[in-house]
Amino acid sequence: MIRYPNGKSYQPIQQIGTKKRISGESSYSNRGMTLEADLNETNQYYLVNGIAVIHKKPTPVQIVNVDYPKRSAAVIKEAYFKQSSTTDYNGVYKGRYIDFEAKETKSTTSFPLKNFHEHQIEHMKQVEKQGGICFVIISAFGSVYYLSASDLFFFWERQKQNGRKSIRKDELMETGHLMTLGYSPRIDYIKVVETLHFSDESE
Amino acid sequence: MIRYPNGKSYQPIQQIGTKKRISGESSYSNRGMTLEADLNETNQYYLVNGIAVIHKKPTPVQIVNVDYPKRSAAVIKEAYFKQSSTTDYNGVYKGRYIDFEAKETKSTTSFPLKNFHEHQIEHMKQVEKQGGICFVIISAFGSVYYLSASDLFFFWERQKQNGRKSIRKDELMETGHLMTLGYSPRIDYIKVVETLHFSDESE
C-alpha cells in the first residue's frame, strides 16, 4: 500500500454503488484519483513554486458547426475528437524543453504498447533529435514509472522485429524509474529529469 | 510590395464578391493568406528539415455534451470556446524551449495591447523566468515583426503606468526585429532566435 507522507493512504475510494474491486486489478483509475488529476496538481505545484512551467495541451477537436447567437457566446454544435499528433504535456525546466505522455494500464503482467500510436512515437523521436527531454509516465502494477523515450523506442522497435506487443513488468521495473508518490508534488517527475539530465553524472 | 523569391507577389487576392481593399488598410488577413497559415507552413518546414519541432496548440474548448452513437464516432453536441491561459505555439529548438504568440492588427498607426490578456503575459513571464525563449510575432503595417517577450513586458507595464494602450509604429520598428517574408520558410523566426540566443554575441 502506498501512503502519502501525511499518512493518508493512496488506496481506492470505495464509493457506494460502485462495483467491488476485483482482486488483482490495481489500475490507477480504481484509486479514486486519476493519473491526469495528479499530474495537473503536480504541474500546478511546479508552476506556483517556480520550479517548471508544464501544461497539458487542450484536447484536439475538429469543429464542424458553430452557432453564433445574438448577444451570447458562440456555441459549438457539432465537433469530433481528433487523434493528437503530438504528446499531451510539454513545457520548460531550466531552459530545456520537456515533453511527455502519460498512460495507465490495468494489466497486471505487462504494459501494452497499443497505448501509443506511431504518430506520437514519431513526434518523440523528433523531440529527442532536437535535444528536448522526452519521456512517458506509466502507471502500472500499482506504481508510477518514468520511462525515457529512448527506452520506449527500444520496445517499440522490438515490437516491429519480433512482434511482442507489450513491455513486460520486470522490463519496466528495470528500465523505468520508479516514482514514489508524494503529497505535494504528487508525482515528482522533475526530480527524475534533474537526476538524468542535470546532475554531474548525467548525459 | 512584398515579393517571394520566386517573384510571386504577396499581395491580396481580390476575390469576387469581396469588398474592395480600403486604401491604407494593409492587414495580413487582406492578403488572402493568413498569418496562422504562414506559421503552420513555416513550422512544417522546420519539422521536415529537422530544424525545430514547433506546434500550434489545439483551440481550448469546454465540452458540455457528448453523444455516443452506437457503431460510430462520438459527437460533441455542445461546447464553448475557452480563453487560453498560455500562448498558442511552443516547441523545441536545439534543446531550448520556444514559446510564442502570433497577433495581427489592421491599425496603421500602432499595435493595440488589447491583443493580449493578462493571463498570457503572466505565462510569458513564467516562461522567461524558467529560461525559455519567449516572443511574439506581430503582423502590422504590412510587415511581420519578432518582438521579444521582455520588450512586450515593457510596453505592458507602461500601459499600467501611463495608460498608453498600444505600441506605436515607430516603437515596434525600433524594438522589434523585422522578418523578411520568404517562400520557404515563409516567416523565418528561428533565424531571429538563432541570432538573439545562439550566436556569439547573444545573451
Closest CA to B92 of A97, A94, A198, A86: A97
Q: Do B58 and A53 touch (CB under 8 A)?
A: no
Question: Which pLDDT value is given to residue B106?
Answer: 93
In terms of C-beta density within 10 A (0-12 exposed, 13-18 middle, 19 or more buried), how is residue B105 classed?
Answer: buried
Contacts of A152 (CB under 8 A, 6+ apart): A116, A121, A124, A135, A136
Cis status, amide bond into B185, omega within 30 of 0: yes
CA separation for the pair B112, B156 (Å, rounded): 11
Question: Which pLDDT value is given to residue A71?
Answer: 87
Q: Do A130 and B52 touch (CB under 8 A)?
A: yes
Q: What is the DSSP letter of B7?
A: S
Closest CA to A89 of A47, A135, A128, A34: A135
Best mutation target, A51, A92, A93, to test chain B (most B CBs within 10 A) = A92
Q: Which domains, ranges and CATH numbers included, belong to chain B? A: 28-58+85-197 (3.40.1350.10)
Question: Which pLDDT value is given to residue A84?
Answer: 87
Tens-digit pLDDT profile for residues B18-43: 333 333 334 454 444 699 999 999 99
Chain A contact set for B53 (CB, 8 A):
123, 126-127, 130, 132
With helix as H, strand as E and coil as C, how does A55-83 read? EECCCCEEEEEEECCCCCCCEEEEEEECC
Question: Which pLDDT value is given to residue B42?
Answer: 97
CA separation for the pair B92, B10 (Å, rounded): 29
Chain A contact set for B93 (CB, 8 A):
130
Question: For chain A, which residues score pLDDT lower than 70?
Answer: 1-33, 201-203
CA separation for the pair B77, A71 (Å, rounded): 21
Mean pLDDT in order along chain B per 10 residues (203 residues): 46 37 42 82 97 96 93 93 93 98 95 95 98 98 97 97 94 96 94 94 58
Residue type, A183: Y
Question: Which pLDDT value is given to residue B62?
Answer: 94
Residue with cell 498558442: B88
Question: Which pLDDT value is given to residue A6?
Answer: 47
Helix B149-162 and helix B118-129, axial crossing angle in degrees, nearest 10: 130
